[in-house]
Amino acid sequence: MLDSEYHESGCYINITFTDTQIMGLTLFNSLGKTKQPFEPKNDDEVTVYCCGPTVYDYAHIGNLRTFLFEDVLIRYLELKGYKVKFVMNITDVDDKTIRAAKNSNSTLKEYTNRFTSEFFKDLQSLNVKEATEYPRATDYIKDIESHIMKLQSEEYCYERDGSYYYSINKFSKYGSLSGLEINNEKNRTRLNEDEYTKDNAQDFALWKAWDKDDGDVYWEGKLGKGRPGWHIECSVMSTKILGEEIDIHAGGVDLIFPHHENEIAQTEAVTNKKFVRYWIHSEHLIVEGKKMSKSEGNFFTLRDLIDKGYDAKNIRFLLISSHYRSQLNFTFDGINQAKENINRIQEIYSKIIEGKPKTGRDANISSITKESKKAFEEALDDDLDMPVALASIFKFVRDMNKYLETNQVLEENKLEITDYFETIDKVLGILSDKTIELDDDVRSLIEQRDEARIKKDWKKSDEIREELLKKGFIVEDTKEGTRIKRK
C-alpha cells in the first residue's frame, strides 16, 4: 500500500527502471473519455504535438501548468525507453498578436520574436526540456494555403468575401471530441466565435481576408490577400512535421473546443486517417480559490512570482504536484510548502551522495528501495498519477531518515539509492547533485565552530551557528561531522 500523507505542493523522489519499454502505461483519452493502454503507432517511437503559446504577452501560470504537465509526460515517456519526437508550435500570427503589435508600434515579427524569447526564458527557468522542434505559424503559410485548397477541392470549405470557411456540417464526426451536438441551439453561441462574414454561424475561418485593421500583416497567394485562421495552423504544422497520424496531442482543457475539435475536422477531411491516437488534456488552474483574472488581482506570470522572491524550482514543483486532470489551487502557502518538500528531498539525497560508506549491502534497504521504485512507476503508469507517486516517495524518505538515525548506508545501497533519486528526478526535475559551494568566509566560520566544539566552547559554537544562519546556512552536527545546507 502507498502512504497517503501527501501535501499537494510537495514530494520526494527516486527510481530506476529495469524495463526499457512502457509496459503498463495507461492514459485518459479525451476522445472516448476513458483510460486506455498506451500503444503508439511504432513500438519504440512516440510522436507528440502540444499547442504552444500565442506570443502576444508573457505566459501566465495557468499556461505554465499545462506546459509543465506536458514536460512530465515527455520526461516519463523517455524514462520508460521511448524515442520521443516532440513538437510545440508558436502561434505568431492571429488577432491578438496583430492587435498587440499594432498597439506597441512594432512590426508583427519584432513583437512576436520578443515574446517568443521571453517564453523560452520561462521554460528554461522552470527546467522544461526542449522540444524537438518549435515551428512558427508564419513559416508555414504556403503549406497552410495548400491544405485549404485541398479542403476546398473536397468541398469541405467555401469562400466568402475573400475569406475561406470550414463547413462543419460536411464532417460527420464533428463534435466527437468535445461531445457537442452542432445543431443543438444551446451550443450555437459557442460555435459562433469568428468576427468574419460566413454562410453558417457555426463554421470557422481557415483563411481570413485582409482588412485595414490588419495593417501590413498579410500574405498574397492562391487564396488572395489575407492570413491564416488559428485552427488550421496547428493541423498543418503537426502533420507536416510528425506525419498524418500522431500518437499524442496535448493541451489544456480549454482547447478541446473549438480548437482541437476543429483540428480533427480539417485534418481528417484531407487525410482520411485518424489524426490523433490519444488526446490528453490538463485541467484549469485557480489562484487562492478563485478564477485567475487581472480584475481579481490574482493574475500572475512567472516574472511576477520571481519578483516577489519565489524560486522557479519551487513553482515548478507546485505546478506538477497535483494530478493533471484535477483543478490545481495555486497558493503562496503552496509555494512555501513546495520549497520545504524540495529541501527535504534534497537533504536526504545529499546525505547519501556525500556519505563515505563502508563496503557491504543491507538487504532490507535494498528491498525498500526496490519497492519504492515499483510504487513510483505504478503510480505514473496509471495516467501519470503524480500525487500517488509523490506519496510513495515521501514514504521512502521517512524510511531512510529513520534508518540513518542509527545506521550508515553501505556502499552497494548507496549506489541503489543514488540511482533511485537520479532516475526519479528525470521526471520531476528539481534536484541538484552538486554539493553546496562555500566562500572562504563561510568555510572559515565552519572551521572556527569545529574548533570551538572540540574545546567544548559551546557559547562560541552557538554564536557561530547563528552567524551562519544569518548568512543563509543551517548547521547540522552528525556522526560523520558537520553538515551544511541552505535555509
The H or E element containing residue 330 is strand 328-330
* CA–CA distance, 401 with 172 (Å, rounded to integer): 60
Strand 219-221 relative to strand 224-228, pairing: antiparallel
Query: E strands within 39-172?
Result: 45-50, 83-88, 157-160, 163-166
The CA angle 16-18-21, to the nearest 5 degrees, is: 110
The SS3 assignment for 195 reads: coil
User: Residue 181: what pLDDT?
Assistant: 79
- Across 160-190, b (16+ Cβ under 10 Å) vs e yields eebbbbbbbebbeebbebbebebeeeebeee
Pick out the chain residues at pLDDT < 50.
1-22, 186-187, 190-191, 195-196
Q: Which three cell numbers stand for residue 225?
A: 490577400
Written out in words, the top-level CATH class of the domain with range 40-291 is alpha beta
Q: Which three cell numbers stand for residue 196?
A: 468574419
* CA–CA distance, 210 with 217 (Å, rounded to integer): 8
User: Residue 285: what pLDDT?
Assistant: 97
* CA–CA distance, 199 with 202 (Å, rounded to integer): 9
